[in-house]
Amino acid sequence: MSKRDLVSITDFSKEEILALLEKAKKFEENPNQRLLEGKVVATLFFEPSTRTRLSFETAVNRLGGRIIGFSDASSTSTSKGETLKDTIKMVSNYADLVIMRHHLEGAARYAAEVSDVPVVNAGDGANQHPSQTLLDLYSIYKTQGTLENLTITMVGDLKYGRTVHSLLMAMSHFKPTFNFIAPDELRMPEEYKTFCRENHIPFNEYTDFTEDVINQSDILYMTRVQRERFTDLMEYEKVKNVYTLHRAMLENSKDNLRVLHPLPRVNEIDTDVDDSPKAYYFEQALNGVYARQAIICTVLGL
């Protein structure tokens, strides 16, 4: 039987995504279920993480599984020159599932090809972050009561922000309208705009972060400027504080508007937004545990 990986959000059909969200709902109602008894899950984080690693590990613990892995590749034989292929071959001998974050785009697809056990992409460079997308979809569904016909405004680093790339592709199943707000240097890459055109998804592009656009939106998806992806830090300095959302900017927004952010944030959401009933980013991160429980069980066929 062929194994199931989650490398790109396009690995899952609309029906599979909806089934997974239904599973996440069940885990939210009853998070402690010993479905992973006797299973070992490897978390290999070649790049820093707080939420993704800890929520995956919480998910495994709540499911009764065991965890091996690392959060700092410099303490592994990668630092002696071991290749990604050999590392994955070894770990897939030890574990039933590999969850990997890597700085190179395409690393997760490569790992899935060489691994004998399922691989879940926990973020590969500026490419994709599909488990984040599933928790984003779950958060959107919970707050809006639907995924259909929503206006989603993405703000910030749309060039290097892998979460917006995966979310855009996933939302293509649900007739969205997108607003892309970014400085010229960090615009949504052409390949994703082509994807929108081919899928008849309307989108508008802006460089100014205005209340006019916020007030049309159902979801305001803020993102951090991804300093780690810049080769020239002078370029990062020019754009690092390009947009900041303040609570006053939400004054005339729709009642159902919710502010999402994959986190970590730096300066793009002022702390005065945190107490707004429209701020949803901390709950969004909690939803990650339930979505990731659903992902783990789905790829393991449980």
Residue 237: CB minimum distance to ligand CP, A: 22
Residue 262: CB minimum distance to ligand CP, A: 4
Work out whether 264 is an interface residue with ligand CP (CB under 6 A): yes
Task: Please name the residue that has the structure tokens 């599973």.
Answer: 23
Interacting residues of 31 by C-beta distance below 8 A, sequence separation 6+: 62, 289, 290, 293
C-beta closer to ligand CP: residue 57 or 96? 57
CA angle 201/204/207 to nearest 5° reads: 150
Work out whether 49 is an interface residue with ligand CP (CB under 6 A): yes
Return the percent helix, strand and coil in the chain, to nearest 5. Answer: 45, 15, 40
Interacting residues of 119 by C-beta distance below 8 A, sequence separation 6+: 5, 6, 7, 88, 97, 98, 99, 100, 108, 111, 112
Work out whether 283 is an interface residue with ligand CP (CB under 6 A): no
Q: Provide the sign of the torsion angle of the four alpha carbons 58, 40, 69, 229, taken in this order.
A: negative
Work out whether 262 is an interface residue with ligand CP (CB under 6 A): yes
Total binding residues toward ligand CP, as defined by CB under 6 A: 9
C-beta closer to ligand CP: residue 182 or 291? 291
Work out whether 295 is an interface residue with ligand CP (CB under 6 A): no
C-beta closer to ligand CP: residue 112 or 291? 291
Q: Which of 8, 132, 172, 284 binds ligand CP (CB under 6 A)?
A: 132
Residue 121: CB minimum distance to ligand CP, A: 11
Work out whether 127 is an interface residue with ligand CP (CB under 6 A): no
β-partners of residue 98 are 42, 119
Q: Which of 25, 39, 51, 109 binds ligand CP (CB under 6 A)?
A: 51
d(CA 259, CA 277): 9
Work out whether 267 is an interface residue with ligand CP (CB under 6 A): no
Query: Using an 8 Å Cβ cutoff, are 121 and 130 in contact?
Result: yes
CA angle 146/279/265 to nearest 5° reads: 115
d(CA 243, CA 12): 33
Q: Which of 41, 196, 263, 296 binds ligand CP (CB under 6 A)?
A: 263
In the range 155-214, which residues lie near ligand CP by CB under 6 A?
none
Chain positions contacting ligand CP, by CB under 6 A: 49-52, 123, 132, 262-264
